[in-house]
């Protein structure tokens, strides 16, 4: 196994690595730096675009451009012009709430959640954006929304409320996008960090960034810990398989923690990393169908 930093981007809050199989490009974001990045599999040819607010996540659209979760709502984004256009403004439960992590299901829906920025109060919600751009609420009572992803057959939806120190599993109705039967998938201990960004590999195992403790964890579909990787940064934030064979694990990180009591050290903080030699493949990500 080989871990290396491939882009010294010093993201304030790097998040949302997204490998697009059509373009063979990697996208990621700086949530607090209000920026989108794109590069090739080795971190070369970096391009970036500013966005007008804190960005929680990005979904590429089937017909070009992207759908963004910005702080106050869902936006369309044009990479050619750099313009972001509001599609749906979200009514949050307080002025400390913003949209955060999101991903697309196999039917082309975009699922994204919100977080309470002081990370103390469960004011966040979980939303589903259908391909006709209709937005519906599918869960509530969330403090820090992170890590949405699905089992390979999309019958199970995984989701982390980071401050609950757990990844949760739901039954997922692919026809309607509705959730049911919420249960704890895994609990994180004191040395595991908090569950942050996540992905599912081709074997159905869940990978989660253990933020604030330099960890990446792999769990079996039954919730058994199979592997823990120690990273060279404290604030590791999210993971995604990519590369031509989908066998390279890309990892984002943050320059400094947004909460008190956590200190990041070292020159690699905020870098984009890649891990090679795992012998494990991921699954292709879907594009938004609207």
What residue segments make up the domains of the chain, in order of their start? 2-276
| Res 23: pLDDT | 98
pLDDT band at 266 (very low <50, low <70, confident <90, very high): confident
How far is 199 from 194, CA to CA, in rounded Å? 15
Interatomic CA distance for residues 212 and 194, integer angstroms: 7
Q: For all residues of the chain together, what is the average pLDDT?
A: 96
* pLDDT exceeds cutoff 80 at 237: yes
The pLDDT of residue 258 is 73
Give the pLDDT of residue 179.
Answer: 98
Give yes or no: 130 in active site: no
What's the rounded mean pLDDT across residues 136-151?
A: 97
- Binding residues for substrate are 98, 100
Residue 57 vs residues 22, 189, 190: alpha-carbon distances, Å: 19, 27, 27
Q: How confident is the model at residue 265 (pLDDT cuts 50, 70, 90)?
A: low
Three-class secondary structure of residue 162 per DSSP: helix
Strand order from edge to edge, sheet including 145-150: 145-150, 156-161, 166-173, 178-187
Out of 196, 230, 247, 276, the active site residue is 196
Mean pLDDT of 29-35: 97
Per-residue pLDDT for 144 more than 80? yes
What global pTM score does this model have? Answer: 0.96
Instruction: Give the pLDDT confidence score for residue 171 in this predicted structure.
Output: 98
User: What is the mean pLDDT of the segment spanning 159-170?
Assistant: 96
**Which residues belong to the annotated binding site?**
15, 98, 100, 146, 196
2-276 fold:
Neuraminidase (2.120.10)
Give the model's pLDDT for residue 15: 97
Residues 251-260 as b or e (16 or more Cβ within 10 Å = b): bbbbbebeee
d(CA 46, CA 41): 10
């Amino acid at each position: 196994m080989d871990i290396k930093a491939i882009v010294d981007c010093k993201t304030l809050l790097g998040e949302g690595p997204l490998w697009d199989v059509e373009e063979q490009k990697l996208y990621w974001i700086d949530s607090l730096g209000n920026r989108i990045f794109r590069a090739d599999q080795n971190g070369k040819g970096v391009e970036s675009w500013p966005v007008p607010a804190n960005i929680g996540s990005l979904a590429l659209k089937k017909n070009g451009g992207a759908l963004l979760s910005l702080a106050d709502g869902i936006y369309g984004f044009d990479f050619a012009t750099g313009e972001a256009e509001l599609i749906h403004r979200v009514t949050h439960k307080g002025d400390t709430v913003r949209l955060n992590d999101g991903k697309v299901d196999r039917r082309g829906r975009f699922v994204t959640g919100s977080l309470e920025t002081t990370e103390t109060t469960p004011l966040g919600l979980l939303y589903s954006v259908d391909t006709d751009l209709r937005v519906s609420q599918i869960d509530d009572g969330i403090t820090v929304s992170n890590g949405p992803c699905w089992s390979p057959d999309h019958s199970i939806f995984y989701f982390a409320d980071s401050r609950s120190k757990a990844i949760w599993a739901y039954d997922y109705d692919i026809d309607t996008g509705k959730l049911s039967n919420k249960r704890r998938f895994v609990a994180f201990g004191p040395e595991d960090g908090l569950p942050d960004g996540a992905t599912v590999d081709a074997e159905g195992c869940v990978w989660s960034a253990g933020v604030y403790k330099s960890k990446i964890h792999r769990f079996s579909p039954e919730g058994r810990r199979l592997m823990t990787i120690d990273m060279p940064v404290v604030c590791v934030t999210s993971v995604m398989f990519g590369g031509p064979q989908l066998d390279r694990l890309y990892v984002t990180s943050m320059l400094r923690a947004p909460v008190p009591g956590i200190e990041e050290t070292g020159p690699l903080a905020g870098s984009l990393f890649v891990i090679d030699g795992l012998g494990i493949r991921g699954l292709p990500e879907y594009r938004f169908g609207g």
